[in-house]
Amino acid sequence: MLPPLFGGQKGIAHFNQYLSLHCPLVCVCSDNNQPKEELPYKVLPVLPTGQKHVLNPLYWRKVKQIARREKATTIILEHPYQGIAAWLAAKAIKARFIVHSHNIESNRFRQIGKWWWPLLQRYEKWVHRRASLNLFKTREDQEWAVQHFGLSAEKCLIIPYGVEQPVIDPEDGQKLRRQYGIGAEEKILLFAGTLDYEPNAKAVEDIFSAIAPRLRAAGMPFRIIICGRNRFPAFQYLNKLADASVIMAGEQVSIDPYFVAADVFINPVLSGGGIQTKNIDAIAHGCNTVCFSSQATGIPAHECGTKLSIAENGNWDHFTSLVIQAAAHKDPTPRSFFAYFDWNRILQPLIHNLQAHE
């Protein structure tokens, strides 16, 4: 989470930052969190990395001790995994227990074929049902959880992913064109994500097999840049894919210059759950964005102006046609988009809820 590199990490970091402006906040997190700057809240990186320790009573006790020492009145859990530790701590010190869901985790793993997703779904349901308040990123996730987890809608709030309006330097785009030898007549198409995650890896395959050939046949001069982490052996086959029009740029410290350079952000992901934070970040940076309908959840198209084009799921001809159309114009991102995804606006319902229970 710290420093935040990916969409979900940025979401948690900004959530904490803006919430801490309204109430004292302590973040208990894994030991690989290393803040690079002074933050308006306390960070305690005392938990091991990974998920194996979530069933270890020693860490349940550690979380409870920290909660008691910090005199916590509310415990907010990010994702369901540390649910036992957070619930036990809240129960021990009589604090409110709030679950902040970023997607329905069990559904995400069901879609990518993990055999153990039913076990996670039972646990996820158990955690959510013990919360006094549940936070969801999209209305679709909330409605699903109300129906399948048996939650009360009155005990749920929608807290979307937010963005900060970036400062854009057009020269960053020109530098990238020079760096990769991209001609002025060539449209830059960008895809970015954690490539060692199955839905994103499949999207990379589809860029090579379905998108690049169609764009080439349409006669549009283009280059596709793919950025993202790829650390796991099972996904190294992606580095062997080759196309003269595709640049595998690897993991980047900052994706911002790539957003600035891009004419279109393409998101050919077809599976996985939750809100696609990469789409929101791209639009915030002025990119025209093309995705499939399943990946537009939680992004109101009417707030995006001409910046978001949505293709029929799995229809590559439609997707490619929208990419060509999106590359032909570049309007500014409308103010309504930034107003909708403004963190101060987003957090107001939660702040009011917290104040009502002081």
* Same domain, yes or no: 231 and 152: no
* Same domain, yes or no: 19 and 144: yes
**Quick one: tokens of 20?**
């801490």
Model pLDDT, residue 358: 77
What are the beta bridge partners of residue 244? none
Rounded distance between C-alpha atoms, residue 48 and residue 54, angstroms:
9
Model pLDDT, residue 1: 63
Q: Is 255 helix (H, G, I), strand (E, B) or coil?
A: coil
Whether 205 maps to a domain, the answer reads yes
DSSP codes of every residue in 19-59: HTTTS--EEEEETT---SS--SSEEEEEEPSSSGGGG-HHH
Whether 175 maps to a domain, the answer reads yes
Model pLDDT, residue 112: 83
Rounded distance between C-alpha atoms, residue 20 and residue 41, angstroms:
6
Q: Is 47 helix (H, G, I), strand (E, B) or coil?
A: strand
Whether 195 maps to a domain, the answer reads yes
Residue 10 CA to chain centroid, in angstroms?
Answer: 8
**Which one, of 293, 301, 288, lies nearest residue 327 by Cα?**
288
Whether 215 maps to a domain, the answer reads yes
* Same domain, yes or no: 188 and 277: yes
Residue at 240: amino acid letter? K
**Quick one: tokens of 128?**
């959510």
* Same domain, yes or no: 129 and 175: no
Whether 2 maps to a domain, the answer reads no
* Same domain, yes or no: 191 and 254: yes
Q: Is 157 helix (H, G, I), strand (E, B) or coil?
A: strand
Q: How many domains are there within the chain?
A: 2
Determine the length of the chain: 358
* Same domain, yes or no: 51 and 120: yes
**Which one, of 65, 86, 60, lies nearest residue 74 by Cα?**
86
State the CATH number of the domain containing residue 107.
Answer: 3.40.50.2000
* Same domain, yes or no: 328 and 347: no
Q: Is 349 helix (H, G, I), strand (E, B) or coil?
A: helix
* Same domain, yes or no: 105 and 203: no
How far is residue 275 from each of residues 4, 99, 162, 300, measured CA to CA in Å?
17, 17, 11, 11
**Which one, of 224, 227, 232, lies nearest residue 249 by Cα?**
227
**Which one, of 159, 89, 161, 101, lies nearest residue 125 by Cα?**
101
Please work out, in degrees rounded to the nearest 5, the angle formed at the alpha carbon of residue 167 by the alpha carbons of 163 and 171: 135
* Same domain, yes or no: 185 and 107: no
* Same domain, yes or no: 146 and 211: no
Whether 52 maps to a domain, the answer reads yes
* Same domain, yes or no: 182 and 324: yes
Whether 260 maps to a domain, the answer reads yes
Burial of 130 (0-12, 13-18, 19+ CB in 10 A): middle
Please work out, in degrees rounded to the nearest 5, the angle formed at the alpha carbon of residue 276 by the alpha carbons of 258 and 169: 25
- Residue indicated by tokens 């799921």: 313
**Quick one: tokens of 125?**
């349901």
Enumerate the H helices of 219-261 as residue ranges. 256-261
Give the structural domain span for 12: 7-162+343-356
Whether 12 maps to a domain, the answer reads yes
Model pLDDT, residue 8: 80
Q: Which helix (H) or strand (E) holds 78?
A: strand 74-78
pLDDT by residue, tens only, the chain of 358 residues: 677 776 788 899 999 999 999 999 999 999 988 888 889 999 999 998 877 788 899 999 999 999 999 999 999 999 999 999 999 999 999 999 999 999 999 998 998 889 999 999 999 999 999 999 999 999 999 999 999 999 999 999 999 999 988 888 889 999 999 999 999 999 999 999 999 999 999 999 999 999 999 999 999 999 999 999 999 999 999 999 999 999 999 999 889 999 999 999 999 999 876 788 999 999 999 999 999 999 998 899 999 999 999 999 999 999 999 999 999 998 999 999 999 999 999 999 999 999 998 7
What are the beta bridge partners of residue 266? 290
Contact between 317 and 56 under an 8 Å Cβ cutoff? The reply is no
Please work out, in degrees rounded to the nearest 5, the angle formed at the alpha carbon of residue 151 by the alpha carbons of 97 and 299: 90
**Quick one: tokens of 132?**
């006094």
Q: Is 147 helix (H, G, I), strand (E, B) or coil?
A: helix
* Same domain, yes or no: 78 and 174: no
Rounded distance between C-alpha atoms, residue 177 and residue 160, angstroms:
34
Model pLDDT, residue 148: 98
